[in-house]
Amino acid sequence: MCGIQDTPPGTAVASVAARLDLDGRPDLSSLLLTWTLRGAPHYVPPGDHALFTLGVLPEAADPAVAEVESIMVDALRKGPRPKGEVSAFVNQRAPELSPYCRACDAHHPNDNVFRAAALKGRFVLQGTAPVVLARARPAAKGNAEALRTELLLRYLHAYAPTTASHFATWAGIDPADAKRRWTAVADAVVKVGKGFVLEEDLDELERPRPVTGARLVPNKDALLQARDRDLLFLDPAHRKKVFPMLGGPGVVLLDAEPVATWRAAAKGKRLEVTVEPFLGLPKRRHAELDAEAQRLAAARGQDVASVTIG
* pLDDT single digits (tens) 217-233: 999 999 999 999 998 99
**This prediction's pTM:** 0.94
Asked if residue 132 lies in contact with residue 82, where contact means CB atoms within 8 angstroms, the answer is yes
Ranked by mean pLDDT, the top range of 20-24, 261-265, 277-281 is 261-265
Q: Could you give the strand order of the β-sheet that contains 131-135, starting from the edge strand earlier in sequence?
A: 4-5, 41-44, 32-35, 123-128, 131-135, 81-82
Helix axis angle for 144-159 and 164-171, nearest 10°, is 110
Distance of CA 18 to the CA centre of its chain: 15
Rounded Cα distance, 205 and 46, in Å: 29
| Amino acid identity at 72 | M
Identify the three-state secondary structure at position 43: strand
CATH class of 144-206: mainly alpha
Identify the three-state secondary structure at position 233: coil
Rounded Cα distance, 189 and 182, in Å: 10
Looking at the chain, which residues constitute the CATH 1.10.10.10 domain(s)? 144-206
The mean of the pLDDT values for the chain is: 94
Asked if residue 91 lies in contact with residue 109, where contact means CB atoms within 8 angstroms, the answer is yes
What pLDDT was estimated at residue 107? 76
Asked if residue 86 lies in contact with residue 76, where contact means CB atoms within 8 angstroms, the answer is yes
> Which of 65, 33, 25 has the alpha carbon at shortest distance from 132?
33
Identify the three-state secondary structure at position 134: strand
Rounded Cα distance, 257 and 248, in Å: 18
Rounded Cα distance, 285 and 291, in Å: 10
pLDDT (mean) for 9-18 = 94
Helix axis angle for 63-75 and 83-93, nearest 10°, is 120
Percentage of residues of the chain with pLDDT beyond 90: 83
pLDDT, tens only, 123-182: 999 999 899 999 999 999 999 999 999 999 999 999 999 999 999 999 999 999 999 999
